[in-house]
Amino acid sequence: MTPDLPPSALRLDVDRQALAANWRALDALSGTARTGAAVKADAYGIGAKVAVPVLRDAGCHDFFVTYAHEAADILGLVPPHEISLLHGPINEGVAKWAHETGVRVVINSLEQAARWLAAGGGRCDLMVDTGINRLGLPLANLGDPMIARLEVDVLLSHLASADEDVALNPRQCARWEEARRVVPHLRASLANSAGIALGDAYHGDLTRPGLSLYGGVPRRELEGRIAQVARPMAAVMQVRNIEAGEGVGYNATFIAPHAMRIGVVALGYADGFLRCWSAGKGVLLRQGRRLPVLGRVSMDMVDVDLSGADEVREGDWLEVEYSLPQAAAFSGLSQYELLTLLGDRFAR
């Protein structure tokens, strides 16, 4: 018998109550529209198998993923018809798998429409490009006979700049409304997390937040409504005493100005704690006390100043300062990057 694996030196604490509360807050802001959830990229790094049951129990019935393997990970947690593949039937294998499982595909092009119909067709979603120029059917193709053969559940588009007050937002909204008049469909969806804050005109029948479910605040209107969900934790592997003049980490970018007590922590850029958090920026927390990073962040470890935490010993846990709006402003990373960079070595 293979022995059980020991606990990881990294863990991601997920506040399930905050996650559910964020969904309910976004649902309330969505007015009469139903509120779905983007759970792609392993629920933005939170862990789809952790997040989906919480969101389901809060009342969510529409889940958006990117690839078939992401849908497969949550089959059994929610009914297949509540899962949509945003990248659609990118090949015949995906079309066949989705048709057989009942997972909805999002059609993004005439080629994907043909592929879906060849696999047997059935209910699907349709993405219309209204100005972001990524995936999505051009407005000029909406009248194609191939599109008329589709059984469209959700007619989607995606906002390019919902986190900003720019003229593109109302232009995209108007184009989306134009598509709604042309293509028969059951429901229509435009707003992401930031789009929800733009108001009723953007809500349609279904909103599909992602970032704000997990603690992100892309617009001021959401401040005070969205709670922190993810708290990365890392164990102290070693406690050291160094003398004045000694260097810390690669290239000795930090030189101790006096004798110091430092901790070597199991956290590095392979875990998403990038070098932008090196000395002068990065901070770990111990029961609310800020412990500055010393020297450069390495692949698997980082050093911190334990001068303000005399009680810390090897094996103790430190928290990464990860309130997303503040961490983004501090690091220069986007709130999306902060979440999705969290590595697989975190036990969730």
Backbone angles phi, psi at 71, to 5 degrees: -65, -40
- DSSP-assigned beta bridge partners for residue 302: 265
Whether the CB-CB separation of 269 and 298 falls below 8 Å is answered with yes
Would you say the C-alpha torsion 15, 20, 24, 27 has a positive or negative sign? Answer: positive
Annotate 267-302 with DSSP letters as a single string. --GGGT--GGGTTTT-EEEETTEEEEEES---SS-E
Please state whether beta strands 206-207 and 187-189 pair in parallel, antiparallel, or not at all (unpaired). Answer: unpaired
CA nearest neighbour of 176 among 113, 127, 112: 127
Please state whether beta strands 63-65 and 83-85 pair in parallel, antiparallel, or not at all (unpaired). Answer: parallel
> Position of tokens 């089959």?
75
Distance separating alpha carbons of residues 7 and 3, to the nearest angstrom? 12
Whether the CB-CB separation of 115 and 151 falls below 8 Å is answered with no
Paired tokens of 317: 């846990």
> Position of tokens 């108007």?
174
Distance separating alpha carbons of residues 58 and 23, to the nearest angstrom? 7
CB atoms within 10 A of CB 142: 17
Terminal Cα distance for the chain, rounded: 25
Positions marked active-site: 40, 250
CB atoms within 10 A of CB 157: 27
Distance separating alpha carbons of residues 208 and 226, to the nearest angstrom? 16
